[in-house]
Amino acid sequence: MLDIKFLRENPDVVKQNIKNKFQDSKLPLVDEVIKLDSEYRAFKNEADSLRGGRNKLSKEIGMLMAQGKREEVEAVKKQVTENARRLAELEVLEGEYQEKIKNIMMVIPNIIDPSVPIGKDDSENVEVQRYGEPAVPNFDIPYHTEIMEGLSGLDLESARKVAGNGFYYLMGDIARLHSAIISYARDFMIDRGFTYCIPPFMIRSEVVTGVMSFAEMDAMMYKIEGEDLFLIGTSEHSMIGKFIDTIIPENELPYTLTSYSPCFRKEKGAHGIEERGVYRIHQFEKQEMIVVCKPEESPVWFDKLWQNTVDLFRTLDIPVRTLECCSGDLADLKVKSIDVEAWSPRQKKYFEVGSCSNLGDAQARRLRIRVNGKDGKYFAHTLNNTVVAPPRMLIAFLENNLNEDGSVNIPVALRPYMGGKEKIEKK
């Protein structure tokens, strides 16, 4: 959410930013909120004047009473009553206008970083760099569900009976591999200085609207019936929510945390063949990283975060590339975002396995996360990034480590988490 003062003083900048994100339908909101803000400030000034005059009138009544001026006393009392009536009206208007302004401000997108490429959608995202040599073996690679089923590691049919489409049973060595990757990612991030955390898997609506846009919320979140609780779509939600309504001493920053959680997502809409199986599902697990820092440090942390994901995938022999998200592909709260994509030898192309985002002070402003600095209080910057998100990440892992006989090699880094196994083989 933008600072209303910034919008008031830079309406053309805000409008151009909306155009850059190809959201022209939101352009009228800028003038609307400026008008509402002007009216609100007029109401507030009048209300503040009336509040300030109450003590003055009370003292005046006391002085007139002491002088025996009853008629003047009644006149001032009448003025006090009239002022109280008007103040009550103004306080109602203040509340109504504050709510209207807040609702509009939460829809107007954050100002994107100048380095973000301008484009309408993800088809115009820009490749930044490749890491590792993408290879295609001289044998056909089956679809990922066939690889897993060939290793007795996946049961979709039972999951459909139990929970419906979009769920799965992982079994045997594939289930163990899934847990091994999560554990390895946890230790990888701890070794890089991040504090490990297991957060709540449900959050209140105030936190939901603090960490994401209304459009994202509607498309992603599952609501708990009869409760002010939502299942998290990623642990970033509850990890950033951890700092709601806090004032952080500046010398304690940055906070660098890595968290494990299950994730729950509606995943609305139809999906193509490449997003079936365990690619796009309602329930999965993830290792995440978040940073809360000073504003001037967030660009440096942004580069550190996506590099962590690249480094982890390379230790598992998976070629990856980084992709700069264009303006039209950025969620409204994001300042800048880079996706990490893994190589798929079967598809002969890359696909997304993680996303790194700098949200500036948008989440901090919504959740009132402030820093107590030497020159006063200011809003922190927040960032997040996926470490790994199996089982989607398993697709890349299995395809890149598959042998012609259907067995799967275990990279050296992962073997301690697999009981020393060097290979998963058909039974």
Domains annotated on the chain, with CATH: 4-105 (1.10.287.40), 122-424 (3.30.930.10)
* Average model confidence (pLDDT) across the chain: 92
Residue 85's pLDDT is 84
pLDDT value of residue 79: 74
Is pLDDT at 217 greater than 90 in this prediction?
Answer: no
Predicted pLDDT of residue 51:
78
* Global confidence as pTM: 0.90
Q: What is the pLDDT of residue 61?
A: 65
Assign 57 a pLDDT band (cuts: 50, 70, 90).
low
Question: Is residue 142 over pLDDT 60?
Answer: yes
> Which of 54-58, 65-69, 147-151, 276-280 is predicted least confidently?
54-58
CA neighbor of 122 nearest in space, from 337, 268, 281: 337
The per-residue pLDDT for range 334-349, each reduced to its tens digit, is: 999 999 999 999 999 9
The predicted structure's pLDDT at residue 257: 98
Nearest by Cα to 64 from 85, 86, 49, 79: 79
Cβ atoms of residues 240 and 363 within 8 Å: yes
Structure tokens at 305: 């975060």
- pLDDT, mean of residues 217-243: 93
Selected residue with higher pLDDT from 306 and 62? 306
Residue 212, exposed/middle/buried by CB under 10 A (0-12, 13-18, 19+)? buried
Using a pLDDT cut of 70, give the percent of the chain over it. 95
Encode pLDDT of 385-411 as tens digits: 999 999 889 999 999 999 999 999 999
pLDDT at 169: 96
What percent of the chain clears pLDDT 90, i.e. is strictly above it?
Answer: 81
Question: Has residue 163 got a pLDDT over 80?
Answer: yes
| pLDDT value of residue 269 | 57
Q: Which residues pair with 224 in a beta bridge?
A: none
Task: Return the minimum-mean-pLDDT range out of 51-55, 103-107, 317-321, 358-362.
Answer: 51-55
87 — pLDDT class (breaks 50, 70, 90) = confident
